[in-house]
Amino acid sequence: MEYRLLGETGCKVSRLGLGLAQIGAFELTDTNVVERLLNTALDMGINFFDTAASYRNSEALIGRAISHRREEFFLATKCGHWAAEVPWTADTVRTHIERSLRRLDTDHLDLVQLHSCDEELLGEGEVVQALIEARESGKTRFIGYSGDNLAAAVAVDSGTFHTLQTTFNLIDQKARKGLLERAKDAKMGVIAKRPIANGVWGGSLENSNSTVQFDTMMHRANIMLALGPIPECPAGRIELAMGFTFAHSAVDVGILGTTNPEHLKENVRIFEEALPIADEVVNELCLRFDTVGAEWKQLT
């Protein structure tokens, strides 16, 4: 497994991270299923785990499954959420952090990220100050922002956060147009969400749980695919997608989500054995995005 220092945190994290939104759908009685997944990840060298207060049972299941291995992994969560049925306030942030500590069965969090609040809320300062206070009190070691487009740029330019989590993949390359570079110039750790673009490249809507977001991703992929075959392109679409994202040195961690330990093992195999992909393929994907997708915004 390849490891990186996450910005200026001084923490060495696996470049392949595990996103834990999907396990939130499990019942709390399914701890044994989650134990197998998370212990497999740890045993294979993955030490960056990403969850959120809004991911249903995710935090509680993590706490039940691997709190006894707490010192072996970097624990990142998020507070607040644009879809939450509560207002974005400092009290919301404090409540979510306290709940995360209890559910994750830990006395501290490694990273707490604001979960997709907009640029206006960032400018008001109330929720940011609550996050700073959580760090100063030792409830979290570091603070970050998770989001996209203008809000992500505002968060980077604020100089407040240790990390940026933002969408970046072969059909969603907007962050390549300055955002990633600005984050690195600010000494921030960069976490790529959706690094395989939900597997839409060369995929099909058949048997998928279609959403507006997924349909948009598929539409983008089809537009780029219509420009013709790519020489030296890997046969596997997951290998291609992972190869593109991890080819960008600004990305410290890419978080892939799964509930299946066998899929997890295959992701690790691809990362360790099949990457990097050819520079010519990465360059062609960049050229295609610049040609047909220059005006596409990041998908939130």
- Domain membership flag for residue 273: no
- Domain membership flag for residue 157: yes
Of 23, 107, 37, 26, the residue nearest 70 (C-alpha): 107
Tell me what pLDDT residue 206 has: 58
- Domain membership flag for residue 228: no
Q: What is the mean pLDDT of residues 130-155?
A: 97
Tell me what pLDDT residue 205 has: 61
- Domain membership flag for residue 243: no
Q: Total domain count for the chain?
A: 1
Q: How far apart are CA 157 and CA 154, in angstroms?
A: 5
Q: Does 208 score more than 60 pLDDT?
A: no
- Domain membership flag for residue 109: yes
Which H helix or E strand runs over 114?
strand 109-115
Tell me what pLDDT residue 18 has: 98
Tell me what pLDDT residue 161 has: 97
Q: How far apart are CA 159 and CA 84, in angstroms?
A: 27
Q: What is the mean pLDDT of residues 105-117?
A: 95
Q: How far apart are CA 141 and CA 39, in angstroms?
A: 24
Tell me what pLDDT residue 84 has: 63
- Domain membership flag for residue 211: no
CATH number of the domain at 176, please: 3.20.20.100
How high does pLDDT run on average in the chain?
Answer: 94
Least confident of 61-70, 201-210, 257-266, 273-282: 201-210
Tell me what pLDDT residue 141 has: 98
Tell me what pLDDT residue 86 has: 75
Q: What is the mean pLDDT of residues 63-81?
A: 94
Beta strands 16-19 and 12-14 are: unpaired
User: Contact, 111 vs 74, CB < 8 A?
Assistant: yes
At residue 209 the predicted structure's pLDDT band, cuts being 50, 70 and 90, is low
- Domain membership flag for residue 225: no
Tell me what pLDDT residue 147 has: 95
- Write the pLDDT tens digit of every residue in 181-194: 999 999 999 999 99
Tell me the pTM: 0.94
- Write the pLDDT tens digit of every residue in 210-252: 688 889 999 999 999 999 999 999 999 999 999 999 999 999 9
Domain interval for residue 140? 3-196+248-260
Q: Does 300 score more than 90 pLDDT?
A: no
- Domain membership flag for residue 25: yes
Q: Which residues pair with 239 in a beta bridge?
A: none
User: Contact, 243 vs 274, CB < 8 A?
Assistant: yes
- Write the pLDDT tens digit of every residue in 77-104: 999 876 666 788 999 999 999 999 999 9
Q: Record the tokens describing residue 259, joined without a space.
A: 């509930």
Q: Does 68 score more than 70 pLDDT?
A: yes
At residue 124 the predicted structure's pLDDT band, cuts being 50, 70 and 90, is confident
